[in-house]
Amino acid sequence: MDEINLNGPTAFLDRDGTIMEDTGYPRDPSIVSLCPNASEGLRLLRKKGYRLVVVSNQAGVGRGIISRNQFRAVHARFNTLLAEAGIRIDQYLYCFHHPDDGCSCRKPATGLVESYLRQSPHGQSFMVGDKLSDLELGSNLGMTSFLVLTGEGNKTKEKLGAENTAYKAFPNLLDLAESLEKAGSGASD
Ligand SMILES: [Mg+2]
Ligand SMILES: [Zn+2]
């Protein structure tokens, strides 16, 4: 097992379209697969001392499209694929609410991450995802947000327009992790 720096920063990661291929309301564990270079990127982030925390809206549950059991099966399969690649996610923060519920945890709302951060330092933590709600979550937390061009990433980049300078884009998680390494902005010391 990798050494974890408990005082290190956290990489907050979207799940669908960022780590796991986005199939839209995933219900079937047999079709769960990982995005290109996602496991390599996560391994490098861990090596750099980042804790790995997944933040994911799963409104399919609140909408009644995904049953609790289907959700659990997909989650278990996802976790197994990561374990097989030598990666352990430190914490999962899931919102199951319907978008109309007005909850405080559906991205870009900050509820889940804020309660997590109460027990952990902010440091050089960052948020990464493929949708605007991911990027806005980071902004709402005063954190750097990165866009990955997996999942809906290219559509999001288009929406942001050519003038976007707020959110740096990377082809996938590995390219992001490598750029952090080059910049020396990781948590290793
Ligand atoms: Mg996503
Ligand atoms: Zn919620």
In tens, the pLDDT along 115-150 reads: 888 876 667 799 999 999 999 999 999 899 999 999
Does any domain span residue 5? no
Nearest ligand to the CA of 104 is: 2
Tally of domains in the chain: 1
Nearest ligand to the CA of 113 is: 2
Does any domain span residue 50? yes
Residue 25's pLDDT band (cuts 50, 70, 90)? very high
Does any domain span residue 4? no
pLDDT digits (tens, 9 = 90+) for 163-173: 888 999 999 99
Nearest ligand to the CA of 132 is: 1
- pLDDT, average across residues 82-110: 96
Higher pLDDT pick, 132 / 188: 132
Please state, in angstroms and rounded to a whole number, the distance separating the CA atoms of residues 10 and 49: 9
Extended strands (E) in 48-141? 51-57, 91-95, 126-129
Contacts of 73-80 with CB under 8 Å at 24 or more apart are: 73/29, 74/26, 74/27, 74/28, 74/29, 74/32, 76/29, 77/29, 77/30, 77/32, 78/15, 78/19, 78/20, 78/32
Cα of 141 vs centre of ligand 1, distance in Å, is 18
pLDDT of residue 184: 52
Cα of 175 vs centre of ligand 2, distance in Å, is 30
86: CATH: 3.40.50.1000
Residue 188's pLDDT band (cuts 50, 70, 90)? very low
- pLDDT, average across residues 39-61: 95
pLDDT of residue 118: 81
Domain boundaries, position 92: 10-183
Helix (H, G, I), strand (E, B) or coil at 135: helix
pLDDT of residue 2: 45
Does any domain span residue 37? yes
Average model confidence (pLDDT) for the chain?
Answer: 91
pLDDT of residue 117: 86
Is-above-0.85 flag for pTM? Answer: yes
Does any domain span residue 93? yes
Residue 182's pLDDT band (cuts 50, 70, 90)? low
Does any domain span residue 178? yes
Q: What is the percent of the chain where pLDDT is above 70?
A: 89
- CA atoms in the 13 A half-sphere facing the CB of 20: 26
Cα of 144 vs centre of ligand 2, distance in Å, is 22
